Every structure is written in structure tokens, then in C-alpha cells.
Amino acid sequence: MNRFDYVRPETVADAVKAMAGGDARFIAGGTNLVDLMKYNVERPGRLVDITRLPLNTIEARDGGLSIGALVTNSTVAYDDTVKARYPLLASAILAGASGQLRNAATTGGNLNQRTRCYYFYDEATPCNKRQPGSGCPAIGGVNRIHAIFGTSPNCIATHPSDMCVGLAALDATVRVAGPEGERTIPFGDYHRLPGDNPERDNTLKPGEIVLSVDLPDEDFGPHHTYLKLRDRLSYAFALVSVAAVMKLDGDTIQAARFALGGVAHKPWRDHEAEAFLIGKPANQETFTAAANIVVAAAQPQSENAFKVELTRRALMRGLSQAAAGTPQSQSDKRIA
């Protein structure tokens, strides 16, 4: 682990200022950054400890809910308002990591966690995300956990978060502050595809800090689910996950949104497939057709072709669960 400077500002403005110079990193829960420093993947010259910033509350905003960047994953998952109004978010959070990690990990940190690609973590191997231009051995290498959507010849890594998949389906927005002031980023624009710059995970500008994640004023009642499929029944990253919300009028779908995890460099939305669902009857035929639209865009790697079919089936099941109002339990591992 490299030597580094350490500062602990008290205000957002000071935190943003402390980032000047290029090789500084914000640290809050540290559940990912400290690991990355131990692996020499991150070698920050300065750590800006933001845990004293006033970003640790969940509050009502514009009829929705604003979750401060420093609120821990556990606090969000067990918050009464979140459980009542945004149960999908609580479920997605509880599908990830472990109790101990969720107690330390923050909302902002979850957004900014790095991929779990083996090669990215292994300094002994090339990786365009870690070292731009060095190559991507995951392409043609060990890639059963890698992306099937939105990949580039430079990178096939996935975003590992569960929470973000839920936030994408909920159409959250991310409020950020930076040297040029505050702005709001729709969740779908927050993370990016690798393209020619796989080293960039998101669209934050230099020095920008996440202030909060804001949820719109919406209520899907019981019509939601977070379905996560992985290599063991707990404590593993998603091979494929589905976050879905739906509004029904009788059997007819009035509104539906879904996002997929474990399959792309960002939570994967397919607006065409979502639009297809509107006005259709909530049945297997509809869900199958929507799932087929989604996977038509898939481009699997040498070892992960199974993810295409798994995505199709997971989506069909997830949409069924949401429509039926029987969301997947995160404690009973039997899939509903």
C-alpha cells in the first residue's frame, strides 16, 4: 500500500477543494477503496475523509426521498420509509455483500465501487481499466462473470452493485457538487459504458462529490422484485440480477421499469423492452417477448454465453414476481 496524505474536511466545499491535484480520492466506508489500495490498484496521493460531511440523513424531498451520500447501506435497507415506499431498494441492498460490509458501506460509495473483474484486481495482468492501453486479457480469458451488453473491445467488466440496479429501476437521480457547483444526474446517465475509456466508471467530473441519491414520488405497492442469481446462495456478486417495478390496471401493465445487474458496465436498462410492456397483459407471453427483446442485443464472451439465456429467464421470472406482487425474499433462498 502506498503512502498517502490524509485530510478530513468539515464542509462539502472544503472536500471539493481537497480533491484538487488529481490523485486524491474520497473515502467514507472504505470497503472497496482500502482493498484496492492493498492490491495496488488504487494508489492515491491523498485521501479525503468525508465522513464528517453533513450528508448522513434520509429526508423527504419533492414528495420523494433524498438519501444522503454517507447513509450506510444498512441504514437505508432498514429505514421505515424506504421499506414502506421503496421496498425494491431495501431488497436490492440486502441481496448484496454481508451485514458487516453493509454496516460500513455508504450510499455514495456503493455507486462508486469498482468492478470485480479478476484482471482489474490483479496488478500482474494487463487491464485497460486499471492501466489504460495495456489490453484486456478477460476477452478470450476467464470471463464467465463478465458483461454481455454494452461491452467494447477495450473492456468487458461489469458494475458489481446490487443497490444501483434497484436505483436504476426506480429512476433515481444523483445530486452532486463540484468546483462548478451542484448538478443533478439521472441515474441512467451516472454510470457509463466502457467505450474507449474503460478507466472511467461514471460521468462525475473531476472533483465532484455525490451529495445524495434522490428517489421520485412513486408507489408500486407490492409490484416489485429484486431477483439475484449467483454462484452461491449468499455473498457472491450477481451473475445476473433483475430489479423490476410495475403498475397494473387489472391485468394490464400501466407502467413498468426494469434494470439488470451483472451483465454490463452499468445497470442495464432497455427502454424498448420496457415500452413494449405498456398496455400488454401481465402474462408469460408478454414477459417472454420483452425478455427476447432485451437479449437480442446481447454479445456474449467465450465463457459466458449462458448469461444470455439466464438473463432471459431471470427477466421473465422477475417480471412475473413483480406482476404477481410476490417479490423475491432475500432471506429465504428459494426463488419465488
Partner 1 sequence: MANSINTSGTDTYVGTAHSRVDGPAKVTGQAKYAGEFSAPDLAHGYVVSSAIARGRITALDTAAAEAVPGVLKVLTHENRPRTAWLDYNYQDQVAPPGSPFRALYDDKVHYSGQPVALVVAEDFDTARHAASLVKVAYEAETPNTDLAALQDQAYVPPKKRSGIKPPPEPWGDAVGAYEAAPIKLDGRYHMAVEHHNPMEPHASTVVWEGDGKITVYDKIQGVSNSLGYIIGVFGMKKDDVHVMSPYLGGGFGSGLRPQYQLFLAVMAARDLERSVRVTLTRDQMFSFGYRPDVRQTVSLGAGEDGALQSIRHEAISGTSNFEDYQEVVVNWSGVLYDCPNVALDYRLAKIDTYTPSDMRAPGAVTGVFALEVAMDELAHATGQDPIALRLRNYAEKDRTQDKPFSSKSLRAAYEQGAERFGWAGRDPEPRSMRDGRELVGWGMATGIWESMMQQSSAQATLTADGKLVIGNQTSDIGTGTYTILTQIAADALGLRIEDVTTKLGDSKLADAPIAGGSWTAASSGTAVMKACREIAAQVFTLARRLDDSPLANVDFERVVFKDGHISVAGDPSRSIAIAEVLKAGGMDKIEATGSAGPDSNHSQSFAGYTHSAVFVEVKVDEDLGVVRVTRVVSAIAAGKILNTKTARSQILGGVVMGIGSALEEESMLDHTLGRFMNHNLGEYHVPVHADIHDIDVIFVDEEDKANPMGVKGLGEIGIVGTAAAVANAVFHATGKRIRELPITIDKILA
| Nearer to partner 1 (CB atom), residue 38 or residue 183 | 38
Of the pair 140, 206, the CB lying nearest partner 1 is at 140
Main-chain phi, psi angles of 284, to 5 degrees: -60, -40
Nearer to partner 1, 39 or 78 (CB): 39
List C-alpha distances in Å: 332 to 88, 153, 154, 322, 328.
Answer: 16, 39, 39, 17, 8
Query: Are the CB atoms for 220 and 247 separated by under 8 Å?
Result: yes
Shortest reach from residue 102's CB to partner 1, in Å = 15
Residues that bind partner 1 (CB under 8 A): 1-3, 38, 40, 116, 118-119, 121-122, 124-125, 137, 140-142, 144-145, 229, 231-237, 239, 306, 309-310, 313-314, 316-317, 333-335
Residue 72 Cβ vs partner 1, minimum distance, rounded to whole Å? 20
8 Å CB contact between 259 and 168? yes
Minimum distance between the CB of residue 96 and partner 1, rounded to whole angstroms?
A: 12
The answer to whether 205 touches 180, Cβ cutoff 8 Å, is yes
Residue type, 142: V
Q: Minimum distance between the CB of residue 130 and partner 1, rounded to whole angstroms?
A: 13
Tell me how far, at minimum, the Cβ of 231 lies from partner 1, in Å: 5
Pairing of β 209-215 and β 46-49 = unpaired
CA–chain centroid gap for 296, Å, is 22
Dist CA 240 CA 262 (whole Å)? 5
Q: Which is nearer to partner 1, 237 or 268 (by Cβ)?
A: 237
CB-nearer residue toward partner 1: 87 or 160: 160
